[in-house]
């Protein structure tokens, strides 16, 4: 890595070499501001001592690797474009919310609404994800190593959600064209979400997703595919009382 010199942190000398940004010494605004500098001469950054702060590494818009060493709060790596963000800890609500591209890898658990409204890229949660995982997803790929909570993939429009554990109640409620793969049990399916047959293309697609998340040893035949029954696409006068 090229030598990089930054303004001194509070109480410390100027830095050179590998870029490390310490949130115990810099404000969150300073850290995020440095990550957004167009002339930042670093391809890899470590963010230290996040201590549950919200909105760490949001809106990144260039190819770079950001490793966050610890737990974070709301909207970690939200609106990500091109960057690869790694969190060595747990994350709060809305990790990778509205992500466009790049990747977010969480070596821990995620709170509610992981990957909400995300348009692209890859989100991997090695632990569990809470309620509403993938809500209104619009093209993102999400792989959860553990289980997910209720109302996950609610109104999911496009993309793929893979769950190696169990799924909570109302999975895929009001689903559009997103594809869901679950290895474990499903507490209940939401409106218009049904189990579907696994064809060769789905086994291949699932195998690629699992491989991208580091689970290439999983047997795709142990997964069930879920998708839209397409019964809510059109207004039916006979169902007026239900609307």
Nearest Cα to Cα of residue 132 among 146, 111, 118 = 111
Map residue 212 onto helix, strand or coil.
helix
* Least reliable range by pLDDT among 60-64, 153-157, 168-172: 60-64
Nearest Cα to Cα of residue 182 among 172, 191, 174 = 172
Percentage helix, strand, coil for the chain under 3-state DSSP, each rounded to 5 = 10, 25, 65
Tokens 């790929």, located at residue: 141
Q: Please determine, for residue 201, whether its predicted confidence score (pLDDT) is greater than 50.
A: yes
CB of 131 closer than 8 Å to CB of 111: no
Nearest Cα to Cα of residue 134 among 163, 105, 106 = 163
C-alpha torsion sign, points 231, 232, 238, 243:
positive
Which has the higher per-residue pLDDT, 15 or 161?
161
CATH number of 51-232: 2.160.20.60
Q: Which DSSP helix (H) or strand (E) runs through 194?
A: strand 193-196
Helices first, then strands: H and E counts in the chain: 2, 11
Which tokens go with 135? 């809500």
- Tens-digit pLDDT profile for residues 116-132: 999 999 999 999 999 99
Q: Where are the domains of the chain?
A: 51-232
pLDDT band at 1 (very low <50, low <70, confident <90, very high): very low
Map residue 32 onto helix, strand or coil.
helix
CA distances to 3, 34, 107 from 29, rounded to whole Å, are 23, 9, 24
d(CA 186, CA 146): 13
Which tokens go with 28? 């969150």
Q: Please determine, for residue 73, whether its predicted confidence score (pLDDT) is greater than 70.
A: yes
Q: What pLDDT shows up at residue 183?
A: 98
Which tokens go with 201? 């293309």
Which tokens go with 84? 């690869």
d(CA 175, CA 25): 45
| Partners of 86 in the β-ladder | 67, 105
- Tens-digit pLDDT profile for residues 136-166: 999 999 999 999 999 999 999 999 999 999 9
* For residues 23-28, average pLDDT: 97
Share of the chain above pLDDT 90, in %: 84
- Tens-digit pLDDT profile for residues 79-104: 999 999 999 999 999 999 999 999 99
Burial of 42 (0-12, 13-18, 19+ CB in 10 A): buried
């Amino acid at each position: 890595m090229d030598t990089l010199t930054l303004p001194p942190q509070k109480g410390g000398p100027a830095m050179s070499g590998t870029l490390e940004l310490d949130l115990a010494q810099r404000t969150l605004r300073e850290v995020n501001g440095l990550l957004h500098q167009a002339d930042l001469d670093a391809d890899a950054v470590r963010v230290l001592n996040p201590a549950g702060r919200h909105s760490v590494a949001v809106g990144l818009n260039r190819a770079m690797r950001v490793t966050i060493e610890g737990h974070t709060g709301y909207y970690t790596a939200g609106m990500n474009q091109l960057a690869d963000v790694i969190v060595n800890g747990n994350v709060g609500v809305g990790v990778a919310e509205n992500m466009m591209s790049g990747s977010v890898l969480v070596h821990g658990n995620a709170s509610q609404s992981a990957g909400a409204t995300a348009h692209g890229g890859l989100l991997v949660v090695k632990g569990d994800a809470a309620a509403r995982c993938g809500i209104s997803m619009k093209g993102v790929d999400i792989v959860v190593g553990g289980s997910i909570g209720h109302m996950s993939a609610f109104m999911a429009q496009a993309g793929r959600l893979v769950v190696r554990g169990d799924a909570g109640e109302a999975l895929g409620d009001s689903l559009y064209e997103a594809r869901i793969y679950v290895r474990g049990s499903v507490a209940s399916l939401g409106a218009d979400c049904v189990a579907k047959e696994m064809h060769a293309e789905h086994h291949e697609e699932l195998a690629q997703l699992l491989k991208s998340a580091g689970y290439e040893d999983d047997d795709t035949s142990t997964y069930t595919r879920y998708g839209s029954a397409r019964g809510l696409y059109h207004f039916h006068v006979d169902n007026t009382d239900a609307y």
